Amino acid sequence: MAQQSIAHPPIVARDVWLTERQALLKNEKELTRQRDRLNAERRRLPMVQIEKPYSFDTPAGQKSLADLFEGRRQLIVYHFMFDPDWDEGCKGCAGLVNAMGERDLTVLNDRDTTFVLISRAPLAKIERYRKSQGWRLPWLSSFGSDFNYDFHISLDEVVAPIEYNYRDKAELMRRNPNRGVPKGEAPGFSVFFQMNGDVFHCYSTFARGCEGLTDSYSLLDMTPYGRQEDFEESPAGWPQKPTYG
For residue 100, give every residue at least 6 positions away whose Cβ sits within 8 Å of its Cβ, in sequence order, or none.
Answer: 214, 215
CA–CA dist 164, 206 (Å, integer): 8
Distances (CA, A) of 2 to 6, 9, 10, 99, 103: 9, 10, 10, 32, 40
**Number of domains into which the chain is organized:** 2
Q: What is the pTM of this model?
A: 0.92
C-beta separation of 11 from 2 below 8 A = yes
Domain assignment of residue 18, given as a range: 11-44
For residue range 115-126, list pLDDT tens digits in order. Answer: 999 999 999 999
| Residue 86 pLDDT exceeds 70 | yes
1 CB-side CA count, 13 A: 3
Average pLDDT over the chain, rounded to an integer = 93
In a domain, 226, yes or no: no
| Number of neighbouring beta carbons within 10 Å of residue 104 | 14
Tens of pLDDT, residues 182-219 = 789 999 999 999 999 999 999 999 989 998 898 999 99
Q: How confident is the model at residue 105 (pLDDT cuts 50, 70, 90)?
A: confident
Both 36 and 58 in a single domain?
no
Kindly report the CATH number assigned to the domain that includes residue 191: 3.40.30.10
Work out the average pLDDT over 153-175.
91
